[in-house]
Amino acid sequence: MDTKRLTEMLSKELEISKEEVDTLIEGLANVVGECASNLDTVNLSGFGSFEPRKRLERVAVHPASGKRLLVPPKIVLSFRPSTSLKQKIRNGN
């Protein structure tokens, strides 16, 4: 599903305009991004949690040239679905 389809579905479900849904999605992305950059977890009850994790600096090997490269540390964002969301997926609802 792409953003356009998601926006349409949420607009119908919530009975609000597509522009308002776009604003809400953009706002959620901004808040989650800001919290992740501060290494704060965002928990959404009934949906799941966005958890930032700090990956340490490491040495990697370039597959084509075989050269060793130093990969800098970075923050990655992982998503853990809630138990209720997992049950909804299993039950097909």
pLDDT in tens, 71-91: 999 999 999 999 999 999 998
CA triple 24-29-34, angle to 5 deg? 125
Phi-psi region of 43 (alpha: psi -120 to 50; beta: other; left: phi over 0): beta
- Residue 22 has phi, psi (to 5 degrees) of -60, -40
pTM: 0.74
Structural domains for the chain: 3-91 (4.10.520.10)
Mean pLDDT of 26-48: 93
pLDDT in tens, 38-49: 999 999 999 999
- Report whether pLDDT(70) > 70: yes
